[in-house]
Amino acid sequence: MSQLKFSHAIDKTYLRAHEIDQIQPFVELAYDTLLNKTGAGSEYTDWVNWPDHMDIQEFERIQKAAEKINETSDVLIVIGIGGSYLGARAAIEFLNGTFYNLTFQKEKKTQVFFAGNNISATYHQELLHLIEGKDFSINVISKSGTTTEPSIAFRLFKEKLIEKYGHEEANRRIYATTDAEKGALKSVADQEGYETFVIPDGIGGRFTVLTAVGLLPIAVAGGDIKQLMISAKEAFDEYINTDYTENDMLQYVAIRNILHRKGKNIEILANYEPSLQYFAEWWKQLFGESEGKDMKGIFPMSANFSTDLHSIGQIIQDGIRNIFETVITIANPTVKLTIPAEEDDLDQLGYIEGKDINEINHKAFLGTQMAHAQGGVPNLHIELEDMTEASLAYLIVFFELAVGVSGYLTGINPFNQPGVEDYKRNMFALLEKPGYEDVLK
């Protein structure tokens, strides 16, 4: 059974039936290009139907490594940037909630913290201080092993690990997720005897959440990665084997591209559950790096409702009309919580006393959807069944396929990211890295 339902609240001002009919064959052609690996960047599309092709022996090693980390460590430090950490963090918060590390500490489970995704001395010093006196392990994730942000963090936490345990034991507590054969991190891992897991050559960083990149941290945090992969296979099978009229993912692609051609060049991924905040961060990288090139692309933003309705809600409602929203809601939230009764009713909540807060949250969604649609902000809606591994898998697969199809539909290579390197060249030149002397001339 599908864990995801797609619908929209768009009137004929922005969407007419003949437009769907006209774009449909082009969407189908773009999808064929993705599935048949005939488009630009197709060498990086091994993530399509990945559950059918992943290494089962490595999957079992991931499970055993997670068990070992749980047995020996109070904390796992996951070091990586971009796709090397966003997917894992999104999944962990989706499955465990916003305060997962405090909950894990209370329940004496392994906490999972992330480092190497910025160059802040303050952040890393705070984290070093936080793990003082705790047993910890490291999962360093990098294809090359030379990316600046994670390399700095790895030096810091490796030094701390060696200082605490000695060189030999420190090596047993380092898990490297990297290239199968080459690169600086792979060389160090082989030399020092770290246990290693593979970032597949045919899968770009932002698509790696269902590989060892995401699976090891997710498993350490208690996620059922076996169920995650079973449901991912079901999702791929569903979206690959249905025609356009029954394929929610293709309909999403068609509608968002029709809206884009009418000047809606900003897409806001909105949610009504705070534990979806980091999923939106993963989504922003997925769509921003995939579509934003050749002076094209829909700008990906995110909003956390109802919180952000009290900050950017005004500009969404009444600002420039270049926005559309894709809103994620949960049909069956994990927790039910009832509003208590108070005799004096000074806060004027008497009319909703005894109601489930989830019901009120849903009414906030419906009211906002109506207001924004009436105000000229088309709304697309994704309803997840629940916040389990099954729903998470469907959501990941839905968006990964959608961004690939959208990229080909707009005539770009959705699987490279040439612009990401520009800031690095300038930074290296400013830091006087050998070989970059002429960059700023």
The residues assigned a catalytic role are 289, 424
User: Which of 195, 217, 213 has the alpha carbon at shortest distance from 203?
Assistant: 213
79, 141 Cβ separation under 8 angstroms: yes
Rounded Cα gap, residues 89 and 218, in angstroms: 8
Rounded Cα gap, residues 313 and 161, in angstroms: 46
Which burial class, exposed, middle or buried, applies to 433 when counting CB atoms under 10 A from its CB (0-12, 13-18, 19+)?
middle
* Nearby residues of 408 by Cβ (< 8 Å), 6 or more positions away: 30, 33, 34, 39, 414
Angle 248-261/389-409 helices, nearest 10 degrees? 40
Tell me if residue 302 falls in helix, strand or coil. strand
User: Which of 34, 38, 60 has the alpha carbon at shortest distance from 49?
Assistant: 34
Rounded Cα gap, residues 253 and 290, in angstroms: 14
User: 121-142 b/e with 16+ CB inside 10 Å = b?
Assistant: eeebeebeeebeeeebbbbbbb
C-alpha dihedral (93, 94, 100, 101), degrees to nearest 10: -30
- Tell me the residue type at 405: V
Alpha-helix residue ranges (DSSP H) falling in 44-120:
56-72, 86-96, 100-106
Q: Characterise 383 by phi-psi region: left (phi > 0), alpha (psi -120 to 50), beta (else).
A: beta
124, 99 Cβ separation under 8 angstroms: no
C-alpha dihedral (257, 259, 260, 263), degrees to nearest 10: 160
